[in-house]
Structure 1
Amino acid sequence: MKNRIPRIYIDKHFTINEKIILDESNRHYITKVLRMNIQDILEIFNNTNYIFLSKIIEVENKKLIILILKKEKKNIESPLFIHLGLVITKNEKMNFAIQKSVELGVHTITPIFSQYCNFNRNKQNISKKNIYWKNIIISACQQCKRNMIPKINNSENIQTWCKKSNKNETKIVLDPKSRRNINQLSKHNNYFRLLIGCEGGFSELEMQKIIKCNFIPIRLGPRILRTETAAVAAVTALQIKFGDFG
């Protein structure tokens, strides 16, 4: 059985036969976690639809150098452009929802402030969180073999985000009280704006304003889902009906 080639992300453009000195984080991961050594093969991705096969050519004095051997085009991006608005929730739930939605093919994520979200809106806290969430996204891409890194936007208030849209974008909000389900949606194009609430859901006034912004209330079934489960279920349902799951 062929061994799986380890993957790492490097934010850089490459040329064939170029030598790259890895940063401390990647060096530690390669040498201490994976215990790789000279002549071992790596797969590099860099937010393009290409992968770059490389090999380790030097490991010494806390320095690791790789040589870029060749590049291959590999586009596994979903045909759907799903922009996920995720109301900020507890750390583990938020982290899980971001990680799994990336694995399922989400294109863009915006963390959302709503009435019932329980989060300190201090700018420093949010800045640190965005860096942390971006690292979760990169790690998820590393695992699921996506080569394009989904964008995570700065956090926004719910009404600000809901008022935005691309031309002909289908806007969806999960609402357990709705009588409509995803099977009743029609696809106008490949752009979806999906809003997921926190554990407390949305206030009645918030939902009224969301619907005024042309969001379609959708239910996923008779059971009430946790935030992180709802995000996974909704993205999966969209990919099955309109995307590349099948």
Structure 2
Amino acid sequence: MSGSLNAAGWIALHGKMPRLYVPAELSAGATLTLPEGPAKHVTRVLRMGEGAPLILFDGAGQEAGVQLAEVGRKHTTVTVEAVWSGSGESPLVVHLGQAISKGDRMDYAIQKAVELGVAAITPLYTERGDVRLKGDREEKKLAHWQAVAASACEQSGRAVVPPVHPPQALGEWLAERQEPLRLMLHLATGNGFAQPERPASAALLIGPEGGLSDTDIQAAIASHFTPLTLGPRVLRTETAPVVALTLLQHHFGDL
């Protein structure tokens, strides 16, 4: 099999198949040992045997068509038959600042943001936010959120896994922003989509369940964030990024 075979050729040859995130160097002709998680998924959940085709992606933009070479109790290997560049990234680079919410709400926000092409996510501590993470708990949550992002890439066809940065205080995140378009969800009247030029990147700020406080809003305005309203209805903190990112991708991205 030629290593120059592209994604369309590989899929046409093998049909629809699972995509797995494996952060390893992908090169045609190489043999890779799958990490424990993907190996268990392939052998125990999907019950795939030797010779079965898969698509792997490295999280940095490369994809590979592989076949299972050896399925064993101790390790599972694949042979890389073709490598190509992924094509699922948006031309609009969006950094989402999402106030941390409880339970599955944060997972949902991250999952859908990744499906909608977000380039980076930073969980935020805001004045009205009631979630505070420290030490091991923060590390575990961060690892979990990064796994949610990787899983969303597997499902959505992206080959680049957006980083989920360590949680920050809102003020720290605002101070780092350099994007030419900066929007914050706020019920006040505002239309951030009326831009004279198509921006290459954007920052999007989503507040907590209780909304951004007056202090948070003034800090964001001082950092050149434009208030953006999504209509008269109040959206949940996990729904707001879905709607806002959809509109951003429609106006400036690839939707």
Aligned partners of 1:182 and 1:237 also within 8 Å:
no
- Taking the aligned partners of 1:181 and 1:15, their CA distance within structure 2 comes to 46
- Taking the aligned partners of 2:86 and 2:215, their CA distance within structure 1 comes to 45
How far the C-alpha of 1:187 sits from its partner, in A, is 3.9
How far the C-alpha of 1:182 sits from its partner, in A, is 3.9
Q: 1:217 — aligned with what?
A: 227
Q: 1:120 — aligned with what?
A: 132
- Taking the aligned partners of 1:186 and 1:126, their CA distance within structure 2 comes to 40
Gaps in structure 2 of 5+ consecutive residues: 1-11
Instruction: Choose which of 139, 148, 158 in structure 2 pairs with 1:146.
Output: 158
How many residues are treated as equivalent by the alignment? 243
**Residues 103 and 15 of structure 1: is their aligned pair in 2 closer, same or farther, counting only changes over 3 Å?**
same
- Taking the aligned partners of 1:218 and 1:75, their CA distance within structure 2 comes to 30
Q: What does the per-residue CA deviation read over 1:209-229, in whole Å, with 9 as the maximum and x for residues that have no partner?
A: 211111101101111000111
The answer to whether the aligner puts 1:174 opposite 2:185 as a matched pair is yes
Aligned partners of 2:52 and 2:68 also within 8 Å:
yes
SS class of match (1:152): coil
Aligned partners of 1:47 and 1:149 also within 8 Å:
yes
Q: What does the per-residue CA deviation read over 1:184-242, in whole Å, with 9 as the maximum and x for residues that have no partner?
A: 34445211010000110011122112111111011011110001110100000000111
Aligned partners of 1:56 and 1:65 also within 8 Å:
yes
Q: 2:175 — aligned with what?
A: 163
Task: For 1:185-196, list aligned pairs within 5 A.
Answer: 185-187=195-197, 189-196=199-206
What's the TM-score, normalizing by structure 1? 0.94
Q: 2:4 — aligned with what?
A: none
SS class of match (1:132): helix
SS class of match (1:184): coil
SS class of match (2:239): helix
Q: 1:232 — aligned with what?
A: 242
Gaps in structure 1 of 5+ consecutive residues: none
SS class of match (1:138): helix
Letter in 2 for 1:145: G
Tell me which moved more, 116-125 or 213-222.
116-125
Aligned partners of 1:48 and 1:147 also within 8 Å:
yes
How far the C-alpha of 1:48 sits from its partner, in A, is 3.2
Aligned partners of 2:22 and 2:35 also within 8 Å:
no
What's the TM-score, normalizing by structure 2? 0.91
Task: For 1:28-177, list aligned pairs within 5 A.
Answer: 28-166=40-178, 169-176=180-187
- Taking the aligned partners of 2:102 and 2:196, their CA distance within structure 1 comes to 33
